[in-house]
């Protein structure tokens, strides 16, 4: 195996683990206790991810990258490019939608939906728009279909049973208008008996909640699935690890603009209050989730640069395999024969990944198709 291919596959594996694990803290008792069990506001949780993305982006200055021309490892000198802002416009709204989807449709269904769509979006961008070379387009399409079928199967059979939920009695319910460090039962009684002190409920229930969560997952898959596309148009020196800092600055800018828009809407038109970060309750879960996603993002950039969009970013979407393992063995969400069905779907997904990897042309093509 050539060093570039090894680097691309290793990066894809790291990205898969991180992307499949970052949403686990969303299901923690601390997170679920906020807003009377509805969970932290998606924009607030996304802000933790953005903060960690900005803080960890500077690792690109010390992480060596493989240089095909010299055949050795070199230190990256990132170049700031405006294309990072475009990626931020794709990622931040998509990330907000992803958290909303997990909270309303469930982790398995939400991640299965957006992962499937991201594979399709990446394939369309890579093969039909960027003209990335693969050994066989029909076999690449077949591998993508097999992987997508596995993702759908894992999302269907990974749905938690009604009684498989983590207890959250350790944490008292919090709302965005409530002091997160207050635990006085008398104050809770006053708040619960005075609807005017609480914001109107923002989380629908039942079928409506599930439908809106599914719609948010579709949006993340279609819109957020293009976050790596702008890197293809960036200068060669601003690709892969060289793109990390530009991406982080762009994402931070978009996140701040969203907060300004939310605050302006509340100030001008009223409605639900500006979301709270609930720092004292959420800082561990928020920073952990953000750090995992950011590390996965860095790894995915390297994977896309080496394996290109259609293969590299598609493989990263097998993160549903990791999140499913969390659901089965840690959260005990999937029981009985559904575990066997989920396992069969996982094998199908892995077969699709192997097929996609085999279709990568490697040195015969242009490594880092972003530079074309």
Would you list the domain boundaries of the chain? 3-371
pLDDT band of 184, cuts 50, 70, 90: low
Measured CA angle at 146 (ends 16, 126), to 5 deg: 65
Burial degree of 233 (CB within 10 A; 0-12, 13-18, 19+): middle
Neighbours of 156 (CB within 10 A): 15
The torsion of the CA quartet 74, 77, 78, 79, rounded to 10 degrees, works out to -130
pLDDT higher than threshold 70 for residue 128: yes
* Owner of token pair 């005017």: 196
Does the pLDDT of residue 49 top 60, yes or no? yes
Q: Are 117 and 323 in contact (CB under 8 A)?
A: no
Instruction: Give the residue, 112 or 189, on which the prediction is more confident.
Output: 112
User: For the ranges 141-155, 173-187, 352-366, which has the lowest average pLDDT?
Assistant: 173-187
Residue 236 has pLDDT above 90, yes or no: no
Residues paired with 74 in a beta bridge: 65
Contact residues for 129 (Cβ-Cβ < 8 A; gap 6+): none
pTM, to two decimals: 0.76
Query: Which has the minimum average pLDDT: 148-152, 303-307, 357-361?
Result: 357-361
Distance CA 250, CA 85 (A): 4
Three-class SS state of 283: helix
pLDDT tens digits, one per residue of 55-82? 999 888 887 776 666 666 677 777 799 9
């Amino acid at each position: 195996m050539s060093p570039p291919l090894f680097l691309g596959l290793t990066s894809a594996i790291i990205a898969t683990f991180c992307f499949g694990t970052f949403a686990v803290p969303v299901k923690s008792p601390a997170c679920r206790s906020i807003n009377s069990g509805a969970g932290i506001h998606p924009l607030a949780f996304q802000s933790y991810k953005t903060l960690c993305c900005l803080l960890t982006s500077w690792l690109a200055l010390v992480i060596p990258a493989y240089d095909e021309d010299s055949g050795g490892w070199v230190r990256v000198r990132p170049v700031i490019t405006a294309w990072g802002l475009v990626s931020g416009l794709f990622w931040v709204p998509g990330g907000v939608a992803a958290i909303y989807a997990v909270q309303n449709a469930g982790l398995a269904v939400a991640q299965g939906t957006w992962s499937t769509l991201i594979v399709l979006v990446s394939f369309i961008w890579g093969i039909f728009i960027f003209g990335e070379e693969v050994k066989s387009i029909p076999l690449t399409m077949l591998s993508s279909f097999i992987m997508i079928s596995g993702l759908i199967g894992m999302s269907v059979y990974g749905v938690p049973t009604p009684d498989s939920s983590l207890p959250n009695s350790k944490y008292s319910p919090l709302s965005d208008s409530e002091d997160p460090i207050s635990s006085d039962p008398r104050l809770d009684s006053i708040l619960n008996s005075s609807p005017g002190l609480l914001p109107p409920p923002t989380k629908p229930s039942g079928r409506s909640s599930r439908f809106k969560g599914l719609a948010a997952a579709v949006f993340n898959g279609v819109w957020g699935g293009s976050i790596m596309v702008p890197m293809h148009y960036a200068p060669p020196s601003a690709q892969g690890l060289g793109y990390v800092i530009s991406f982080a600055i762009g994402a931070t800018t978009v996140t701040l603009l969203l907060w300004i828009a939310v605050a302006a809407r509340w100030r001008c038109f009223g409605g639900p209050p500006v979301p709270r970060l609930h720092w004292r309750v959420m800082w561990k879960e928020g920073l952990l989730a953000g750090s995992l996603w950011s590390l996965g993002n860095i790894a995915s950039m390297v994977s896309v640069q080496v394996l290109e969009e259609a293969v590299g970013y598609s493989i990263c979407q097998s993160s549903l395999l990791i999140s499913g393992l969390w659901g089965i063995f840690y959260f005990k969400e999937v029981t009985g024969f559904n575990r066997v069905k989920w396992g069969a779907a996982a094998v199908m997904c892995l077969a699709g990944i192997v097929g996609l990897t085999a279709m990568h042309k490697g040195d015969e093509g242009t490594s880092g198709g972003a530079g074309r």
